[in-house]
Amino acid sequence: MKWKTKWLLAFILVLGIVGVTKLEELGIIHKPVSQYVTTGQDFLVMKKWVASMLDNPEDELLAVNYENSLLGTYESMQPFKEGVIISYPQPIAIEAQRDGLVIFTGIKRQTGKTITVLYDDGDEVTYGFVGSFSKLPYTSVKRGDTLALMEEEALFFMVKRDGANLDASLLPAYLSGSVE
């Protein structure tokens, strides 16, 4: 394609996105399209669509207890920004809590090395102050896969559910698995 055609297509795409957003704000479109695109749910839909094309059925088994997770064995938890800082007696491996997709690995100003996972149930979980990454962005993960390794004894932890951050008071229950 020529560069003029590419720019024209990009302009039409941006104009379409802005137009749909405005129609949504005016109440003409009742389905929350902008929330669908900005929360990362499009990744989940694409992942499930590709899996259905590959005839790769998802496991129907449900683990009642996941004993190998060390995330719930913290010493203390303090609110920090939109999440919490969790301290541990020693560095641990950060493991995927459920099946999902890594949507970010990189360095953020406030949380250092950070990895964000979008789980299949829609929860977007961010782990910050990690030492080294074990997964690359846009990598599928299964429950128990190592996402990152801690170098220090502290970890930033934040959960977004339905586009809103879970309150810091709910995060201990979330780590224990009792928040649904």
Asked if residues 143 and 104 have their Cβ atoms less than 8 Å apart, the reply is: no
Q: Which runs of consecutive H residues, i.e. helices, occur in 57-162?
A: none
What residue segments make up the domains of the chain, in order of their start? 3-53, 76-176
Decide if 90 contacts 153 (C-beta within 8 A): yes
Helices of type H across 1-98: 3-26, 33-38, 41-53
Kindly report, residue by residue over 144-173, the tens digit of the pLDDT. Answer: 999 999 888 889 999 999 889 999 888 888
Query: Which of the following CATH numbers is that of domain 76-176: 2.40.30.10, 1.10.3720.10, 2.30.30.170, 2.70.70.10?
Result: 2.70.70.10
105-127 pLDDT, tens digit each? 999 999 999 999 999 999 999 99
pTM, to two decimals: 0.64
Burial class (CB in 10 A: 0-12, 13-18, 19+), 91: middle
